[in-house]
Amino acid sequence: MGGLNRASRSALGPLQCGRVQQIGALLLVVLTFFVTRIVDRAFSPSAPSSTSYSSHLHSALDERHRDPFAGGGLAWPDRAYGSRLSLKIYVYDDREIDGLRELMRGRDGTISPDSCVKGQWGTQVKIHQFLLQSKFRTMNKEEADLFFVPTYVKCVRMNGGLNDKEINQTFVKVLSQMPYFRLSGGRDHIFVFPSGAGAHLFRSWPVFLNRSIILTPEGDRTDKRDTSAFNTWKDIIIPGNVDDGVTAFHSSAVVQPIPLSKRKYLANFLGRAQGKTGRLQLVELAKQYPDKLESPELKLSGPNKLGRIDYFHHLRNAKFCLAPRGESSWTLRFYEAFFMECVPVILSDQVELPFQNIIDYSRISIKWPSTRIGIELLEYLQSIPYEAIEEMLANGRRVRCLWVYASETEPCSAMGAILWELQRKVRRFHQSTETFWLHNGSIVNRQLEAFQKWRTPVQLP
């Protein structure tokens, strides 16, 4: 036994150590852990520098709690967006494609961008103008992630510059001159359709634009049409174009909000009935409860026409601004309400709202079933505590900068938000069903013609 014990101690001897050695080993492990963490952070991809645009949106909120209502700012989640903006967008020039100018100026070229930039359809002009000045614009098609096709078709149509048939024919003519559109099947091409009609302004959109990125304030239209032109996988909902004089901050705004305690009405609806059920119900409700709900008959012309400034003076005189659907599911009144600091009440079941990955709309607005418009709605609004209304208005102040069409260099703007959403839509695989490639990487068509030799008009996808 003694021999066995001696042998055992002899075998284990090299593994035994004193207390000082144990402490030293533990300290070495701890030190190694912290050094490793420091090295990992030093060489891992870092957040953008303080001079980058994205830092304005990311600096105030950490990864665990990016709450735009927490008082810090707005931040796009890293997942699917990335930690910084990195885009290259090619903007087509109206002189490089025959017919594109007609989609912007009309058949006679007499419609000016200045006449199209105002009103709720002005986004088609503003987005184009901002992209022309953007640091993310590229003049090289070969390196572009995305291609922007400028058209002002809603304005052109409203001003008699083109009729529906001409719009359709001209669109097809323009697209047939774009080899890069054919190359991707349109998947990396961007179009703006700023009105309730959405892409339906181009009647043949289901054939030609079914894979393109569409920027529109309009979401689901299946309540009125067989097929919706909005696809949640590829398209982006954008804010409507609120009057620049109202979106200006502080004392420069043409109309200022007034304190809740001085507002005359519980709610208001400022819009034409247009024969729509929900709007007609609100007009009748206002007649029954004129002390609670204001809904004046709006005149679009004549001596009793409600002017722009008067409209906003009415809008700010209620705690809640009702936003029922009209010809389509969205309404500009929803966005205008934030600048008059009036809680918007959505009465449009199919509405789609912009930037929902960032904004919790339940904290800045109310959505009420359009099938339950009546005294029940007014009683509900009446029951909301004053403090809750103030909190919703305060939350709205923090995010309304996303409704302002301003340069991407601003810390917060609709344009900056759209660029973040576009980054999420970039697809590195651009080829379509009508493009092919060979062993040397060259891109060819069905006739085995190299991409560089494609001539217009090209076969459309």
95 token code pair = 């002189």
User: What is the spatial distance between Cα 220 and Cα 329, in angstroms, rounded to a whole number?
Assistant: 8
User: What is the spatial distance between Cα 280 and Cα 166, in angstroms, rounded to a whole number?
Assistant: 35
pLDDT in tens, 84-96: 999 999 999 999 9
Residue-level pLDDT at 178? 93
Residue-level pLDDT at 433? 82
**Superfamily per CATH, domain 244-404:** Glycogen Phosphorylase B; (3.40.50.2000)
Residue-level pLDDT at 61? 31
Q: Look up the pTM and report it.
A: 0.82
The domain segmentation of the chain, as residue ranges, is: 89-240+426-453, 244-404
Positions in the chain whose pLDDT score sits under 50: 1-17, 35, 37-65
